Structures are given as C-alpha cells and as structure tokens.
C-alpha cells in the first residue's frame, strides 16, 4: 500500500515531464528552442519534436508571408509638387535566429515598426530623387519606382532577418491644404470649357436659325410671286372670256352678271330682297315688268356650248383633306349624269 502511494506521484510526474518535453511544429510556423534565453535549436520543418522540460522553452514565429501598411507620409518630387503617399509591403521571416537577435522578445510588433521606418526612408529617397516628378509618380512608371524601393529596402530588412517580397504604392494624393485650390482650378477650367462649348453651340444655332429664316422668306416670296402670276393669268383669262361673251351677246352677259350679283347678295339660309320694277340692278331680268303685269321677254339666241368651252375646267385642289376631296369628286360624278340627262 505504501509502495503504491509512492509510485503514483512518480508516475504522474513522469507523464507530465514526457508531455512537457514534446512540442509540435506546424507547417506555417518557425520555432526556436531557448535555454535560459540562449538559442539551442531551430526547427523549421513541421512535425513532432522534443525539448528539455522546464529548462527549455519554445518560441514560435509565423512563417507565412505577412502584410504591412505603412503610415501616410509627405514627399516632395523634383518638380517641388508635394504629394501624400502611402504604401504596403509583403514580407516574411527569412532568418529566424537573426530575427530573434534583432528584435528580441518584442517579436513581430517591433520588427514591423523598424521595417516601416526603413520603407518610409526609402520611399522619400526614391520619390525625391532627381528626374522623378509628380507626373512620373502618377504614371505607369510608378511600378518601376516601387521595385526600386523594394530593392533598396531589402538590404536594411535583411539585418532584421526579414525578406521583403513586394512593395506597392497604394495611394498618391495632394496634401489636404492643396486640394481645395486644385479642385477650384479644375472647376474653373471645366466651367470655361463649358462656356466655350455653349458659345459655339449658340453660334451654330444662330447660323442654322438665320439660314432657316432666309429659306422661309425666299420660299414664301417665291410662292407668293407664283401665286400672283397664276392669279393674274387667271384674271386675264376670265376677263378675256367675259369680254368675248359680252361681245357675242351683251344682253345675256348683262343678265348673267345680274344673276351673279344677286347670288352674292342673298344669304344661303334665308334672305328677303325687295326691288322696284324700275331698278337698274334687275333691269335686264325684269325690264318687261310694268304696271300692267309681266309680259314676254324676247331673248336673242346665243351659243351655250361655246360659252362652256370658253370657261376654264374646274379642278380639285390636291391640298384639300382626303375626306373633302372624296366628297367633291362624288358631287362631280353625280352632276355629270344629270347634265347628260339634261342634254
């Protein structure tokens, strides 16, 4: 019983000692085995490893590629145009022993502070070099500038046990105090360009409007001229027909003109006209009316067909609406059979 009570603690201590002497290294890690602060073993391969319990300790570091964003800094290129630049870098721990010696127990935090200082110094040096202007920094050539920053920073980073994989410039802007003036100048330039475009557009519109007005005036003048010529020719033809008709039969012509005057005087719906039997207006029509009543009026024979041939042929204007043109065509068609039947 006493022997079991003595062996049990010993077994427990043995198990604890064995478990504390075993450590596992992940494939994403690099491990240092320290003994009283001194490096005794470097383990970079994944797997199961052993250490002396209590005396030795295991310090783990990330073996993957890490990212670091630098602080925003202000640089002055060779054209004295100040710019605000920030960058980021990809790095990894290449030499874990040198890394431990350089940063001590501070680890990755201290290493990133030092690496950020190195990068900022190299950014100022490269971007402030001769023949590097703000236009160069804002052009596709900024990739070459980033490579120069990376190559120059690698030497300083190697002293920290770090390997810089890549450096990129993220953002390049003007300082805050210069943005307002720059935006105001850009706005003024755009407004000037807009005013020029509006002025050119108004000028072109004025030219088009003047040409259109001139075309309208010329078209209306030509139309009025042609209309007056046609109207004059029609009046001349009408007067010729009237003169010829009057020469052939003056009595009938006077009678016909009296009928036209009466037709124009009467209203279409309801009209009442009172004439004296001795009225000159109706003398041709009612010359035979006397106090003793209406007698026969002798009329000189005249050639009706010749008068019809002398009259101009009636045509339907093509400018009338389609419905009105169809109505007039139907009336003409209906009048033709009636005239044929009368003849």
Q: What is the CATH number of the domain that holds 76?
A: 3.30.479.30
Task: Answer yes or no: do 229 and 275 share one domain.
Answer: no
Q: What is the largest CA-CA distance in the chain?
A: 182
What is the three-class DSSP state of 120?
A: helix
Task: Answer yes or no: do 230 and 263 share one domain.
Answer: no
62, 83, 99 — which closes off a domain? Answer: 62
Give the separation between CA 260 and CA 251, rounded to whole angstroms: 15
DSSP state of 251: H
Give the separation between CA 215 and CA 259, rounded to whole angstroms: 46
Domain assignment present for 179? no
Find the domain containing 123 and state its range.
66-173
What average pLDDT does the chain have? 77
Say yes or no to pLDDT of 175 above 60: yes
Task: Answer yes or no: do 242 and 337 share one domain.
Answer: yes
Domain assignment present for 112? yes
Confidence of residue 297 (pLDDT cuts 50, 70, 90): very low
User: Mean pLDDT lowest for which of 183-197, 287-301, 328-342?
Assistant: 287-301
Residue 53 contacts residue 119 (beta carbons within 8 Å): no
- Considering only CA atoms, which of 285, 228, 290, 234 is closest in space to residue 261? 285
| Torsion-angle region of 252 (φ positive above 0: left; ψ -120 to 50: alpha; else: beta) | alpha
Token pair listed for 119: 């990068």
Q: Which residue has the higher pLDDT, 43 or 336?
A: 43
Give the separation between CA 255 and CA 36, rounded to whole angstroms: 149
- Averaged pLDDT for residues 278-305: 49
Confidence of residue 301 (pLDDT cuts 50, 70, 90): very low
Task: Answer yes or no: do 260 and 312 share one domain.
Answer: yes
User: What whole-number percentage of the chain has pLDDT above 90?
Assistant: 9
Confidence of residue 19 (pLDDT cuts 50, 70, 90): low
pLDDT at 299: 44
Structural domains counted in the chain: 4
pLDDT digits (tens, 9 = 90+) for 251-266: 666 667 777 777 777 6
Say yes or no to pLDDT of 326 above 80: no
Residue 33 contacts residue 43 (beta carbons within 8 Å): yes
Give the separation between CA 57 and CA 64, rounded to whole angstroms: 22
Residue 34 contacts residue 56 (beta carbons within 8 Å): yes
Domain assignment present for 329? yes
pLDDT at 281: 61
pLDDT digits (tens, 9 = 90+) for 281-292: 655 555 433 334
Task: Answer yes or no: do 51 and 87 share one domain.
Answer: no
Say yes or no to pLDDT of 336 above 70: no
Give the separation between CA 233 and CA 237, rounded to whole angstroms: 6
Domain assignment present for 162? yes
Instruction: Give all strands (DSSP E) within the chain, no chain letters.
Output: 22-25, 29-35, 38-43, 47-50, 56-62, 66-69, 73-75, 83-93, 162-173, 289-290, 293-294
Task: Answer yes or no: do 130 and 165 share one domain.
Answer: yes
Residue 22 contacts residue 48 (beta carbons within 8 Å): yes
pLDDT digits (tens, 9 = 90+) for 65-88: 899 988 888 888 887 777 888 888
Mapping DSSP onto H, E and C, the string for 110-126 reads HHHHHHHHHHHHHHHHH
Domain assignment present for 299? yes
| Torsion-angle region of 29 (φ positive above 0: left; ψ -120 to 50: alpha; else: beta) | beta
- Considering only CA atoms, which of 89, 76, 98 is closest in space to residue 154? 89
173, 202, 220 — which closes off a domain? Answer: 173
Domain assignment present for 194? yes
Task: Answer yes or no: do 80 and 50 share one domain.
Answer: no
Give the separation between CA 279 and CA 293, rounded to whole angstroms: 16
Domain assignment present for 217? yes
Task: Answer yes or no: do 138 and 90 share one domain.
Answer: yes
Task: Answer yes or no: do 162 and 210 share one domain.
Answer: no
User: Mean pLDDT lowest for which of 11-25, 214-228, 276-290?
Assistant: 276-290
Domain assignment present for 178? no
Say yes or no to pLDDT of 223 above 60: yes
Task: Answer yes or no: do 83 and 18 share one domain.
Answer: no
142, 173, 204 — which closes off a domain? Answer: 173
Confidence of residue 140 (pLDDT cuts 50, 70, 90): confident
Task: Answer yes or no: do 243 and 305 share one domain.
Answer: yes
Task: Answer yes or no: do 301 and 267 share one domain.
Answer: yes
């Amino acid at each position: 019983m006493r022997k079991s009570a003595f062996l049990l603690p010993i077994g427990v201590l043995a198990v604890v000692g064995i478990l504390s002497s075993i450590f596992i290294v992940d494939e994403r890690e690099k491990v240092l085995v320290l003994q009283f602060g001194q490096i005794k073993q470097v383990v970079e391969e994944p797997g199961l490893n052993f250490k002396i319990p209590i005396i030795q300790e295991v310090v783990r570091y990330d073996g993957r590629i890490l990212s670091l964003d630098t602080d925003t800094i202000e640089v002055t290129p060779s054209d004295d145009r100040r710019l605000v630049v920030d960058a980021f870098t990809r790095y990894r721990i290449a030499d874990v022993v040198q890394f431990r010696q350089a940063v001590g127990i501070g680890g990755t935090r201290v290493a990133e502070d030092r690496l950020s200082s190195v990068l900022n110094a190299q950014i100022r040096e490269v971007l402030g070099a001769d023949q590097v202007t703000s236009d160069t920094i804002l052009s596709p050539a900024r990739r070459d500038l980033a490579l120069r920053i990376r190559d120059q920073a690698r030497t300083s980073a190697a002293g920290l046990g770090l390997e810089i994989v890549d450096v990129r410039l993220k953002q390049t802007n003007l300082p805050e105090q210069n943005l307002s003036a720059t935006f105001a100048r850009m706005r003024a330039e755009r407004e000037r360009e807009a005013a020029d475009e509006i002025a050119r557009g108004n000028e072109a519109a004025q030219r088009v409007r003047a040409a259109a007005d001139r075309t309208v005036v010329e078209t209306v003048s030509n139309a009025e001229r042609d209309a007056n010529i046609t109207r004059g020719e029609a009046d001349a033809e009408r007067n010729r027909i009237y003169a010829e008709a009057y020469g052939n039969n003056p009595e009938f012509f006077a009678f016909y003109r009296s009928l036209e005057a009466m037709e124009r005087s009467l209203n279409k719906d309801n009209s009442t006209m009172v004439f004296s039997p001795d009225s000159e207006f109706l003398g041709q029509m009612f010359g035979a009316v006397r106090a003793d009543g209406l007698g026969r009026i002798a009329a000189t024979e005249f050639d009706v067909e010749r008068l019809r041939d002398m009259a101009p042929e009636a045509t339907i204007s093509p400018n009338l609406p389609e419905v009105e043109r169809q109505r007039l065509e139907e009336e003409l068609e209906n009048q033709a059979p009636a005239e044929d039947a009368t003849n």
